[in-house]
Structure 1
């Protein structure tokens, strides 16, 4: 009698939401993912971090140390580190943006569209501001109105809540010494962040059973009413000449999956939105939004199981 072939074991894909400087949440979530998958499957998984590693939480520097350590600690895993809007602005301030796209007039050319917000947002005017990208100036500034009325919380230094990131490197908020305090390997990590990740043949559970699809991961998403291929071209190139990258910072305009992706049954996954949203092949995984008391969440494919740092899956000691 012929042997019955064993079912194929699909490679696990872990999609991890916005960490925002919370090392304790990240470490606990990491252990929970290993417990949920089992060591063998976890050690060969594709891990996609969806961006926003800095700001809000107290431990940006330690979070980046953790991320940098993963390839050597888990050499059989594959790791993808997407760039979030917070990471873009942090990188811009410390001079770690990709340099292959520089406007003719320098990054000063990015200010014009948002100059009406300069006074209210208290843009950075310290050392080196003349050549900074607009998002760097907003990130390191001191916002005048401290209450974030939308979230009911107090801004931590700037509109980006960057004060905690400065503090994690031992520098007062808005001080240019941060450029020297951030280690070289952190600058290189930020400079190397990708704006889009495309992965073929990702297995996912659907209403019709397991199926295989291309996956596209972008921090905020693809603009619904713009040509998809032109957006992907810009994201692959990492065009820093733009004052604001909608795919990293957008909200309503990037929430829904573009028709072209829906028609081709492509998975689109993002973080950014402070929500856990699953609508067919449109996956948004950012349950905490960087808020202290909300959980850091991840999704495991193909099962679409949600794992949180608050799950009791491992020994807490």
Structure 2
């Protein structure tokens, strides 16, 4: 029988409410195959170890880099009633590109061409301004309205008792209520190097690591799924943090 108190990583200072279990999933980046496997693992785990209130929290960066961004969004939409979906920095590119095709100069360096291909487009390696406009028009016709609505509905953070879930992290010294969107989606070094306690224990992704990086004030569960084939889910119950992986 699974026992959350037997977890390798046990924190007494941060707890979830009794009866709540959170499954937090790191950066997916177009790996629909890994996401499908992870969702099945969560369903099996929850079936074997029932709890009153299971919550799945997705930490953002659903698209780009990997080959199946469209399929990832379809899978997420199928779980919409039973999950919390956070915004990652990569989710900012689609609406920006549709309103300003020149954004593709930046987006393609972050894996955006793979996303366009997943919607049936055929971009060149380095699209010029004319092609950028054409691709934006084609994406506007190809992307389902449900996908655009989903990308526009994402939360910036989710808090549950002593835990805070965000995509990238938070700016040290700034109250959670005053955090800026840019930091929640993009911050790295200032957050990662901070060893002081935050208001809440932070569960995040954004910066790839080979294995989950557990610190006294945070855990990073972005294990570079698009490149490594390892998608990580933190299973949090009470004060215990365990993990599932593909």
After TM superposition, is the score higher than 0.5?
A: yes
Distance 2:191 2:111 in 1: 23
Matching of residue 159 in structure 1 with residue 109 in structure 2: yes
Say if 2:221 is the partner of 1:221.
Answer: no
CA distance in 2 between partners of 1:162 and 1:42 (Å): 39
Which residue number in structure 1 is paired with residue 42 of structure 2? 33
Deviations 1:266-291 (A, max 9, x none): 21111111122111241111112531
Pairwise CA RMSD: 2.4
Q: Quote the residue 1:62 is aligned against.
A: 71
Q: Alpha-carbon deviation of 1:9?
A: 6.2
Relative to total residues, which structure has the larger helix share, 1 or 2? 2
Q: CA deviation at 1:297?
A: 0.7
Compare relative contact order (CA 8 Å, sep 6+) and give the higher one, 1 or 2: 2
Deviation at 1:229?
A: 4.0
Distance verdict in 2 for CA 1:39–1:300, change over 3 Å? same
TM-score relative to the length of structure 2: 0.78
Cα distance in 2 for residues equivalent to 1:66 and 1:22: 11
The residue aligned with 1:282 is: 218
Q: Give the structure 1 partner of residue 121 of structure 2.
A: 171
**SS, match of residue 192 in structure 1:** coil
Q: Does the 8 Å CA contact 1:288/1:297 hold for their aligned counterparts?
A: no
State the 4+ residue runs in structure 1 displaced beyond 6 angstroms: none
The structural deviation recorded for 1:307 is: 0.4
Name the TM-score, length of structure 1 as normaliser.
0.62
Per the alignment, residue 269 of structure 1 pairs with 203
Unaligned runs of 5+ in 2: 1-16, 124-131
Aligned counterparts of 2:234 and 2:95: Cα–Cα separation in 1: 27
Match of 1:199 in 2: 160
Is 1:181 the counterpart of 2:142? The answer is: yes
Q: Is the 8 A contact 1:34 1:42 kept in 2?
A: no
